[in-house]
Structure 1
Amino acid sequence: MATIGYAQLPVPAGGDSPTVPADIAELAAAIDPHLVQTPVDLADRNNKLADAPAQTLAIARDGTTWLKTSGTANTWITMWEPLPAWRPFTPASGMTTGDITLGVRREGMRVRLKGRVAKSDGTNLVADYAVNLGAVPSDCIPVGLRSWPASCSLNGATIQATGRLEVIGLNTSSAYGQAGDVIWWFQDPPGTAWVDLSGGYDLD
Structure 2
Amino acid sequence: MATFGYAQLPVPGGGDAPTTPGDLAELATAIDPHLWQHATNKADRDSRFAAAPIHTVVTANDGSVWVKTSSSNVWATIWEPIPAWQPISLASGIGQSTDVVPAVRVIDNRVHVLGAVNKNDGSNFSGDAIKLATVPASCIPPQLRRYPGSCSLAGDTTDSACRIEIAGQTSASPGDVVVYYQAPGGTPWIDLTGSYWMDGLLA
Q: Give the alignment's TM-score, normalised by structure 1.
A: 0.82
Q: Deviation string for 1:6-43 (max 9, x for gaps)?
A: 21212223433266555444333321211111223234
How many residues are aligned here?
197
Q: 1: distance between equivalents of 2:176 and 2:32? A: 48
Gaps of 5+ in 1: none
Q: Give the alignment's TM-score, normalised by structure 2.
A: 0.83
| 1:88 CA displacement | 0.9
3-state DSSP of counterpart to 1:15 = helix
Please say if 1:195 is aligned against 2:195. no
Q: Which residue does 1:156 correspond to in 2? A: 155
The correspondence of residues 10-89 of structure 1 with structure 2, limited to 5 A, is 10-17=10-17, 21-69=21-69, 75-80=73-78, 81-89=80-88
Cα 1:127–1:76 shift into 2, 3 Å: same
Please say if 1:120 is aligned against 2:120. yes
Q: 2: distance between equivalents of 1:70 and 1:188? A: 49
Q: 1: distance between equivalents of 2:178 and 2:197? A: 17
Aligned 8 A contact 2:126 2:185 in 1: no
- The CA RMSD measured in Å over matched residues stands at 2.4
| 1:162 CA displacement | 1.4
Aligned 8 A contact 1:126 1:189 in 2: no
Aligned 8 A contact 1:66 1:76 in 2: no
Cα 1:70–1:161 shift into 2, 3 Å: closer
Q: Deviation string for 1:29-71 (max 9, x for gaps)?
A: 3212111112232344345434433322111112222223455
Letter in 2 for 1:76: V
**Structure with higher strand content:** 2
Give the ranges of 4+ consecutive aligned residues of structure 1 lying more than 6 Å apart after TM superposition. Answer: none
3-state DSSP of counterpart to 1:84 = coil
Gaps of 5+ in 2: none
Greater CA drift, 88-97 or 130-139: 130-139
Q: 1: distance between equivalents of 2:188 and 2:69? A: 51
3-state DSSP of counterpart to 1:129 = strand
Q: 1: distance between equivalents of 2:58 and 2:113? A: 31
Q: 1: distance between equivalents of 2:15 and 2:119? A: 85
